[in-house]
Structure 1
Amino acid sequence: METLPHCETLLLEKQGPALHITINRPDSRNAMSLQMVAELSAIFTEVESDSSIRAVIIRGSGGHFCAGGDIKDMAGARNQKAGEGEADPFYRLNRAFGQMIQQVNESSKVVVAVTEGAVMGGGFGLVCVSDVAIAGPTAKFGMPETSLGIIPAQIAPFVVERIGLTQARRLSLLGLRIGAEEACALGIVHQAASSDTELDDMLAHALERVRHCAPNATAETKALLHRVGHESMSGLLDSAAEMFTAAVRGSEGTEGTMAFMQKRPPAWADTK
């Protein structure tokens, strides 16, 4: 990604091997519009083939991560009529978000969510598909859909995968809002910072660890983890052994072993 594309709803900045995405609709607490969904999808499509990017950081501007779906888009869909043979506009709107969040979930890059303020609905879903999630002291998480007479249709499966059915039931069926400490205890986020400075330090440490891990091995490991529970254990372990063999005989495995023996950082750790 030599030239960063222009986006209406996102700010993009590449820092070394990390692409920083800032959701930039502060007037609506970064509510997720159809345009934002399309732009996030386009960015994740582009970074997938960019070997210079190893981590993608998502955060929000104006003190909020993302307050959920955009009410204007909802109103627009209500006023539209499906043409003959076409899906209902609400279906298309909802499903487009689900496709994007699945894409983020399956990205080969390390996805880091840095959360502050409102983390609701679709924003909550984005956090649940991140590999590393960090909460600032102001972060409030919730699944308010049932209190609005709707359902968390596209995020619910990812929430269950993140924290289990029991806790997902409690959060979604009561429409609860919880703080950073409880979100950390439930496993929605991995760390809860007590200050903005600590939040930045936690992010810096996570990105430093990404730099020390081999990019192809990281991508293969993430793909392997996603297969757990969807295949027979015996077949999965057979496949994992084949993946291990290819990795240890490959360039990263050779370099990692030599670097360890020679007591030096491996080549991928030097991104200057």
Structure 2
Amino acid sequence: MTDAERLVRRASERGVTTLTLDSPHNRNALSVRLVQELYDGLDAAAKDPEIRAVVLTHTGGTFCAGADLGEATAAAPPAAPAPGSAGSGPAASGPAASEATPQSPTPQPSAPQSPASQSPTSPSPAGETAPGGPKGPGGPGASAPLGLARLLRTIVELPKPVVARVTGHVRAGGLGLLGACDIAVAGPGASFAFTEARLGLAPAVISMPLLPRLDPRAASRYYLTGERFDAVEAARIGLVTVAAGSDHEVDAALAPVLDGLRRASPQGLAESKRLVTAEVLRGFDRDTDALAERSARLFASDEAREGMTAFLERRDPAWAR
């Protein structure tokens, strides 16, 4: 496979590997192929003694929109529409989208977001899919709850720091990727939202790397309201490390971070990372199975089917007031 054909492009320079999510047609959704290439890139970086750190970045206007709903829909079994739904639209065929977060193609950073703001023909951001979704590395579907947990844990456990470089929108499973990274720098073009509650779902699995880092009051607000927020707010609440003043300044903000990582010893980096990720990993040990089960249960519920049907049909769900 040539570099131009990859969904995750790799480049290395002066001890830093850059992994670039390059699947703009579905807003860098976590398709089976993209996840496999991400695993491959992380594994290669972990094994290379010359590499000190990994930068995770993206092309296009979205860092990562979550699961690939197109793949999940094709693989999921049919589901009956929820009582009171407007019909048997795309979601009635079983769109697998736990931890799904609708995203407008051109959102404004500070405005709350409506689930009806996205075209039903565009790929829906989703953090997890229902059981029986696409198969990925290590067993269950790459976008299924346990598969997502495995991917996030791989980033947290990598013996080399992973640094997120974000200049676009982040939703659902993409927020989990961001939370799993050790350091994150975002520009003003980035926006963030947890809109799962608007769909009858919850940000279950992605909470494992996120909640230990987030301000508790802010987590309550944004988990419950689904409001969209910008990079400055993301830095205030602990979701990102640095909010750059402009998208052009993101690399300048990264420069001292990467310089510091290049100067560190491999052993020093690995052992220091173990210290700062210990609490997150204890959460994975304790909560993975229960949160994956909760995510699958929520996805299978009538409310989630109604929420996804309403989202794809660009209407308010039955419970909206």
Taking structure 1 as the reference length, what is the TM-score of the superposition?
Answer: 0.75
Q: Tell me which of 169, 172, 194 is aligned to 2:223.
A: 172
* Counterpart residue number, 2:197: 146
Deviation at 1:147, TM superposition (A): 2.0
Q: Which has the higher contact order (CA 8 A, sep 6+)?
A: 2
CA contact (8 A) 1:19 1:53 kept: yes
* Counterpart residue number, 2:250: 199
Deviation at 1:194, TM superposition (A): 1.5
* Distance in 2 between residues matched to 1:7 and 1:164, nearest whole Å: 40
In the alignment, structure 1 segments of 5+ residues that lack a partner are 82-86, 232-272
Q: Which amino acid aligns with 1:89?
A: G
* Counterpart residue number, 1:258: none
Q: Tell me which of 262, 268, 274 is aligned to 1:223.
A: 274
CA contact (8 A) 1:7 1:39 kept: no
* Distance in 2 between residues matched to 1:213 and 1:230, nearest whole Å: 23
Which shifted more, 203-212 or 221-230?
221-230
Residue 204 of structure 2 aligns to a residue in which SS? Answer: coil
CA contact (8 A) 1:29 1:118 kept: no
* Distance in 2 between residues matched to 1:34 and 1:177, nearest whole Å: 28
Q: 1:71 to 1:222 in 2, by over 3 A?
A: same
Residue 268 of structure 2 aligns to a residue in which SS? Answer: helix
1:103 aligns with 2:154: yes
* Counterpart residue number, 2:183: 132
Q: Which has the higher helix share?
A: 1
CA contact (8 A) 2:212 2:279 kept: no
* Distance in 2 between residues matched to 1:156 and 1:228, nearest whole Å: 13
Residues 139-190 of structure 1: CA distance to partner in whole angstroms, max 9, x if unpaired?
A: 0011222223333232012111111544323222222221011001001111
1:214 aligns with 2:265: yes
CA contact (8 A) 2:215 2:237 kept: no
CA contact (8 A) 1:55 1:109 kept: yes
How many aligned residue pairs are there? 224
* Counterpart residue number, 2:27: 29
Aligned-CA RMSD value: 2.5
* Distance in 2 between residues matched to 1:183 and 1:48, nearest whole Å: 28
Deviation at 1:34, TM superposition (A): 2.2
Q: 1:13 to 1:94 in 2, by over 3 A?
A: same
* Distance in 2 between residues matched to 1:104 and 1:131, nearest whole Å: 9
* Distance in 1 between residues matched to 2:28 and 2:281, nearest whole Å: 34
* Distance in 2 between residues matched to 1:105 and 1:176, nearest whole Å: 27
Q: Which amino acid aligns with 1:173?
A: L
Deviation at 1:6, TM superposition (A): 8.6
* Distance in 2 between residues matched to 1:230 and 1:25, nearest whole Å: 29
CA contact (8 A) 2:18 2:54 kept: yes
In the alignment, structure 2 segments of 5+ residues that lack a partner are 80-129, 134-139, 283-321
* Counterpart residue number, 1:259: none
Deviation at 1:18, TM superposition (A): 0.5
Q: Which amino acid aligns with 1:20?
A: T
CA contact (8 A) 2:208 2:280 kept: no
Which protein shows a greater Rg?
1
Residue 67 of structure 2 aligns to a residue in which SS? Answer: coil
Q: 1:89 to 1:133 in 2, by over 3 A?
A: same
* Distance in 2 between residues matched to 1:170 and 1:126, nearest whole Å: 21
Identity between Structure 1 and Structure 2 (%): 33
* Distance in 2 between residues matched to 1:12 and 1:225, nearest whole Å: 27
Q: Tell me which of 107, 114, 122 is aligned to 2:173.
A: 122
* Counterpart residue number, 1:89: 132
